[in-house]
Amino acid sequence: MGFEAHLTYRFPLDRQQERFRELILYVSKRCEDAIYFGAVKLNKILFWSDMWAFRRLGRPVTGAEYRRFQKGPAPTLLPVVRREMQIEGILDIERRKMFDYEQERTVARREPDTSLFSVEELRIVDEIISQFWNENAEEVSDLSHDVIWLTRENKDPIPYEAAYLDPSPLTKEEIDRTYELARRFSWR
């Protein structure tokens, strides 16, 4: 059994599906005045909210499974859940022309139930929204093509533990320590 078997691709949380649905509504409400807010940006806000919460709190916000796609990470169940929410009348998809492409904007038709989330979780989501506020779909997609995305092939699931990967260049001390360990343990 390799190390991949010990990675977390879905994180079991109480009321997990409700949390995912309510976070979609929350992000949609918070981004209703954003110039750039379509499906790609929603995907990235959900992804980074879960990853940063996992890194900071030891648990994600929704526990959803994410996969690597050409335009970056996305929650596996988002298309199905979005469709269900549309049928229930709690979410609409508005198509808006944005320069040379069409934006699929999620519009919440009711207020989200924020009681499902901790103050810390919502703070992380708000930080991610703020960070991406002025970014368009291409820009947030490019930002998501980082070390986490690079470790996967298209359609591969992304483990939550990838949140701990650091894209920063290694320091001289880290490089020296790696060489020291490689010599000591005969790594090749």
CB burial of residue 143 (10 Å; 0-12, 13-18, 19+) = middle
Number of domains composing the chain: 1
Contact predicate 100/137, CB 8 Å: no
Q: Which amino acid is it at 5?
A: A
Which domain range does residue 78 map to? 3-185
State the helix-helix crossing angle for 39-57 and 78-87, rounded to 10 degrees: 120
pTM, to two decimals: 0.87
**Predicted local distance difference test score (pLDDT) of residue 5:** 66
**Predicted local distance difference test score (pLDDT) of residue 101:** 80
State the helix-helix crossing angle for 16-30 and 119-132, rounded to 10 degrees: 40
- Distance, CA of 123 to CA of 181 (rounded, Å): 39
List, for residues 64-100, the tens digit of each pLDDT value.
999 999 989 999 999 999 999 999 999 999 998 877 8
Sign of the Cα pseudo-torsion (137, 138, 139, 145, in order)? positive
- Distance, CA of 132 to CA of 1 (rounded, Å): 39
Give the Å distances, CA to CA, from 18 to 40, 69, 103, 137. 21, 25, 26, 26
pLDDT below 70 — which residues of the chain?
Answer: 1-5, 188
